[in-house]
Amino acid sequence: MKKGYKPTKKHLKRLSESHIGQIPWNKGMKMNDEFKEKCRKRVIGVKQTLGQIEKRASQMRGSNHPRWISNRTKLQKYGDDNKDRRSTAYNYWRKQIKECDNCKCKINNQDCKGRLEVHHILGYTEHPELRYDINNGITLCHFHHPKMREEEKRLISTFKELVSVSKELL
C-alpha cells in the first residue's frame, strides 16, 4: 500500500477475503539440519549492542574514515557542475529546442523509445559560448541519445545536418 494511505474497513475486508483458501508457498517445507546449522553459524557473533555500534561509528568519523581527504581544497561543492543546468536560461533553451522539433525525436523511426532529451550538438563544457544557442540543440529520444563521448563526436555532423534541415523548414 502507498505510504500515508489509510485503507477503509471495506478495503481491508476485501483484502483478507481474497487470501482465503490460498496455501502459503512454504507450508509443510522442512529445513534440513545442515541448513539450520549454516544459519545458526551466520548469526553467531553478529549481535552487537547499541553501544558497540555507536563506538565503531565514532571511530570512523573525520580523519579516521578511510576515504577522508586531508586537502580540503580538492573537494568540489555539491552540484557545482550542474548549477547552470538548473537555471531558467537552460530550461528556456530546452523548451525552445523541443518546440522547434515539435516534441519529437529528430531520428524519427521505429526504434524511438523512452523519454525525450535535449542534446547539445557541440558539447556543453567544451563550447560554453554555444550553451544557449538554439542551433546547437537537437531533440532525441532516450534510445537515440548518444551514451559515450566518442559516439557524440562521431554523430556531430549528422546532428548538424538534421538541425539545418529543420531550420530551413521554419
What's the domain count of the chain? 1
Residue % of the chain over a pLDDT of 90: 5
**Contact assessment for residue 146 and residue 155, using Cβ atoms and an 8 Å cutoff:** yes
Residues 6+ apart with CB under 8 A from 141: 105, 107, 112, 113, 114, 115, 116, 117
Q: How far apart are CA 157 and CA 169, in angstroms?
A: 19
Q: Does 128 fall in a domain? A: yes
Structural domain includes residue 77: no
Provide the pLDDT for residue 56: 78
pLDDT for the residue numbered 18: 87
Other Cβ atoms less than 10 A from the Cβ of 30: the count is 8
Is residue 5 situated within a structural domain? no
| pLDDT (tens digit per residue) in 88-137 | 888 899 999 999 888 888 887 777 877 888 998 888 888 888 888 888 89
pLDDT of amino acid 165: 67
Q: What is the pLDDT of residue 96?
A: 92
Higher pLDDT, 10 or 82: 10
Q: Is residue 60 part of a domain?
A: no
Q: Is residue 59 domain-resident?
A: no
What pLDDT digit, counting tens, does each position of 13-53 carry?
988 888 888 888 878 888 889 988 888 877 776 666 777 77
Q: Residue 123 sits in which domain range?
A: 91-169
Average pLDDT over residues 147-161: 83
End-to-end CA distance of the chain: 50
Amino acid present at 70: S
Give me the mean pLDDT over the 149-157 stretch.
82
58 lies in a domain?
A: no
95 belongs to a structural domain: yes
Is position 114 within any domain? yes
Segment 161-170 shows an average pLDDT of 66
